[in-house]
Structure 1
Amino acid sequence: MEINTISCPAEQEVILWRGTIVLVPTKLMALLCSPPHCLLLLITISSCICQMTQPSSLSANLRDTIRIICSGSSYGSYGWFQQKVPGTGPVTVIYSSTNRPSGIPSRFSGSKSGSTATLTITGVQAEDEAVYFCGAHESSAAQALGDGVFFTPLY
């Protein structure tokens, strides 16, 4: 089991565990990573520096098309994550810059140009209200995670 720390929001650790982003309370993370627990659980931790830039909020009318831009260093690949309820783990909506996991509506798409990634939601729906995070990585190790954009559809 390998865990890579990718950002440190207040009182929580955002970790990438087996390809899934998970929010873990800092106090729990401290317990998990106190000797001898790390040895017993075979957890390895590697800290990364967040260098991602994205706006903090965005709103649009229902059925509009929105684009959320994320800028950072020239990483190999970007991902986009949707968190609808604070304190729960985000859902991957785009991985490897342009790929959409099964079960994610086709209105979500991703693109990348140089050090900039874009998440496009075509024809936004009420259920798209969420915080959207961008992440960037080289090979399989997470390198950076943005602070998140809160998107609010207007009725």
Structure 2
Amino acid sequence: MDLDHLLPQQKYPMVADTLFKRESPQNYNIFYLLPEHLSNLTSLTATMKYLALAVLLSSLLSLSNAACYVKRVEPGLTHCLDEVDKTWHAVGSTWRNSNCLDCTCSGCCDSFSTPRQIPDDCVSVFDSQTCEYIVHKKDNPAVRCLVFSSVGK
């Protein structure tokens, strides 16, 4: 079938609300995708991909609020010193120090998550024996509360 005699909008009709709008003789709204519009559509798609990636990466930032630090390990060392407890540990081992940090010779991270959003009638208290926050009612410590969000581990 020879389509060369047809107008471009007759060759490439496509109903879509984001494409180029033209009025038809019957006053119906018809949308057309013409070859010259494909480069605009491609760049729009690429822009949308980058926007989606930016939104994804910015949402991941909230997941990475654990407090960690890194230490340099000198080659050939067999043991390292925990700077908090002043105890020696073998390279490759893991331990929890008295500040509730999970450590290796190359660094330490918090071993707990810190509550950020709790109900107004609740309070969070850090238990250094179990290395966790306990969230309970202000007027009754026996009643635990829900934590809506927290940061850390």
Larger helix fraction of residues: 2
TM-score normalised by structure 2 residue count = 0.23
TM-score normalised by structure 1 residue count = 0.23
Max Rg structure: 2
Larger strand fraction of residues: 1
The higher-RCO structure (CA 8 Å, 6+ apart) is 1
